[in-house]
Amino acid sequence: MKFSRFFLFVLFFSTSPGKASVPKPEAGIDKRFHILFTNDWQSRIADVARLQTLLLMEELRVPPSEPVVRLDAGDFTMGSLFHTITREVGAELQLMKFLRYDAVCLGNHEFDFHLPGLVQMIRSAQREVGTLPPILATNLVFSNTKEDADLRKLMDEGVLRREVIIERKGVRFGIMGIIGKGAAEASPNSRPVSFADPIKTATEYAKKLREEHHVDYVIMLSHSGVFFSNGSWSGEDVDLAAKVPGIDVIVGGHSHTVLYEPILVKHVPILQAGAEMHYMGKFVASKAPHRSHLYIEKYELLPIDLNTPGDPFVAGKVTQYKKEIDRIFLSQTPYRYDQPILKIHHNYSRTVDDPVLGFWVTDSMRKRVNADIGFTGNGTVRDDWQIHDHGIETVADLFQTVPLGVGVLDQKMGYPLVRVYFNGKEIKQILEILLFAYQSKKSMDYYPRFSGIHFLYNPYRVPLDRIFHIEVQGKEIDPTDTKKLYSLATTSYVGGFLWLVDELSFGLFHLQPKDEKGNPIADIREAIVNKNTGSAQIEEIKEWETFIEYMRGLGEKTPEGYTLVEASEEAKRIPIVERRSLNPHTLFGYATWIQWTAAGVGLLGLGLGLGILAWILRRSRRE
């Protein structure tokens, strides 16, 4: 670490034109403080050496009398090949110790490894570096069963905490860490623990930090999120700022929102730095004795990119972790971390109007298990492809596209593939729910991705009955048919929703997942496709391996062994097409009782309105 500090000393004074400074305090302003923050690392630690450079350079700019705290708002794991060794190594938490974070908050992805995996991750990091930064989980509720006994022990030891008090340069900070309702819903592997109401819990702890610990500032690390829609900000962090008294600042995460300016709600600033190690946030504020809210002096997001050299010590640690990935995780596969796989000539993104990457992901699943339809949610496709390094995409890059999940049966990294069968009527119901979820949530993460299926919908129809044309494998299907079966391929995570359709459709629909013979499947485990077709012992087919194998076979090979990839016309075709029309066919084609009832009510209302209007006109003539 001494070499790292020398490196930063030389870098800072060789690049700074003059002495860096912070604006002088205004009259009556005291207790200025600085927050350097990140959120949603998603295990993207290849650039963490650059983050360390930024952290140290920014601290060099802070006057010696003013305190700095380093904070992270959760989801530091799950999103790259580095998370494949987090249970054995705990690389992310090790690095947070090296980078001198003062506190971190648990996010939903820390629970992807189930409770034993989360405990193992923390213990592995402890063995390597000793004391870790405080890991906050203020609204975590234990089940007090043997399943969460090891996690409770971490709380008893003070490794996990409800709150932490940091006193620095005469300023006392009280920090809590909240997991929002949306994040809790996205962490099914957290069971049997649960999460208390965020607003109620935050109110309790803000009061405790103020009245019992007498802190100067209350900081909430919140893995909850914010969203911009119809010209205004909303989301759980907005609700927390509005409804929880006593909070000075919220450092947020979960929604991966790049906030170039703080969101102010009742004078409480909400901060967020995007995700995936693209930015580090910097916030400078103070408070006058007569004021109840902060005076914001500076806020900016600093890019973590090639313009910032990496800290040598941390870069060396990352190189060691890459070797551990090859040894621990990839040694049983034909792949290595930096192995080149593809060469691309175009950028591909996860935006709604770019179907290619989503098609490749779903088509790889569909073809691997020989299904009619492949589908997933856009939120499970985790990376855009930008042309860099001459367009070369490595094993690490491709894994980063579909990195999520842990096995259902084997607990190995990666979601397993499942295949289930539905009739035409059920296929329409599935599509209606997926369309409704995307349009109601107004989030790109909920946009469904498909292969093997295309459909048309009319937004003038009522929700949950808008689709009037469906094609599977290029042929129109009858969405009233209850006999012919169609196979559907997806991951265990996305496929799990198929057993929840009654709940998601408010009881309007009922699906019965089936096998190829039409027999009901009661549990997602029964739908997992066996890699060893001739064996009763099930070996899961992993999504990430399926995707790499598919992409390797998608084009011609270069002399260097790369696959040259170009998108086919099928990959470029938008699978979900909106048709706004009053044409009777589009308004009532394959309509169910939902659309007919709405139309009947509408006609009845129109008739009633016309009748009332006629009565009024007749009465006015008599008078």
What separation in angstroms does the CA of 316 have from each of 47, 49, 323, 356, 421?
A: 12, 9, 11, 36, 49
Domain chopping of the chain, boundaries: 32-303, 336-578, 592-622
pLDDT tens track for 498-540: 988 887 777 888 899 999 999 999 999 999 999 988 777 899 9
Q: 126-143 burial by CB neighbour count: b if 16+ within 10 A, else e?
A: beeeeebbbbbbbbbeee
Distance CA 205, CA 220 (A): 10
| Amino acid found at 440 | S
Q: What is the pLDDT of residue 24?
A: 44
32-303 sits in which CATH class? alpha beta
Q: What is the pLDDT of residue 335?
A: 96
CATH code, 336-578: 3.90.780.10
Q: Which pTM does this prediction carry?
A: 0.89
Q: Is residue 33 within 8 Å of residue 66, measured between CB atoms?
A: yes
pLDDT tens track for 74-126: 999 999 999 999 999 999 999 999 999 999 999 999 999 999 999 999 999 99
Q: What is the pLDDT of residue 9?
A: 38
Token pair 């009739």 in the structure block, residue: 423
Residue 2 has pLDDT above 50, yes or no: no
Phi-psi region of 176 (alpha: psi -120 to 50; beta: other; left: phi over 0): beta
User: Among 41, 50, 105, 38, which residue's Cα sits nearest to residue 276?
Assistant: 41
In degrees, to the nearest 5, what angle opens at C-alpha 434 toward C-alphas 429 and 435?
95
Distance CA 106, CA 122 (A): 12
Reduced to 3 states, what is the DSSP secondary structure of residue 517?
coil
Q: DSSP string of 84-153?
A: GGTTTT-HHHHHHHHTT-SEEE--GGGGTTHHHHHHHHHHHHHHHHSSPPPEE-TTEE---SGGGHHHHH
Distance CA 456, CA 237 (A): 36
* pLDDT mean over 471-489: 95
What are the tokens at 526? Answer: 């029964």
Residue 20 has pLDDT above 90, yes or no: no
Distance CA 41, CA 273 (A): 10
pLDDT tens track for 264-312: 999 999 999 999 999 999 999 998 776 678 999 999 999 999 899 999 9
Distance CA 595, CA 427 (A): 17
**Cβ neighbours of residue 196 closer than 8 Å, sequence gap 6 or more:** 139, 140, 141
* pLDDT mean over 216-221: 97
